[in-house]
Amino acid sequence: MKQQLLSLRTTSIKYLILKIIFIIYGFVFYIDVLLEFFSSRSTLAEKNGSNLLIHQGMSGSNRKFTQRKS
C-alpha cells in the first residue's frame, strides 16, 4: 500500500513538473509572439522614417545641384 501511494505521489509530481514546464513554454511563446508583433510594427515605422530621410537627402542633393548650376 505504501509503495502504491509513493508511486502515485511521484507520478503526480512528475505531471505537475511537466504542467509547469508547459505553462512556462506557453508564456514564453506568447511573449515572443507579442514582441515579434511590436518589433514588426517598430521596424515598419523605422522603414517609413528611413524612406523619409532618403527623400529628404535626395531633395537636399537636388538643391546642391541647382545651386551649382546657378
DSSP secondary structure string, the chain?
-HHHHHHHHHHHHHHHHHHHHHHHHHHHHHHHHHHHHHHHHHHHHHHHHHHHHHHHHHHHHHHHHHHHH-
Predicted pLDDT of residue 56 = 52
The total domain count for the chain is 1
pTM of the model: 0.43
Q: Which domain holds residue 16?
A: 1-70
Rounded CA gap, 61 and 70, in Å? 14
Whether the per-residue pLDDT at 5 is higher than 90: the answer is: no
Q: Quick: pLDDT tens for 7-66.
A: 777 888 899 999 999 999 999 999 988 888 887 766 655 555 555 555 555 555 555 555
Q: Which three cell numbers stand for residue 22?
A: 508547459
Angle at 59 between CA 53 and CA 60, to 5 degrees: 85
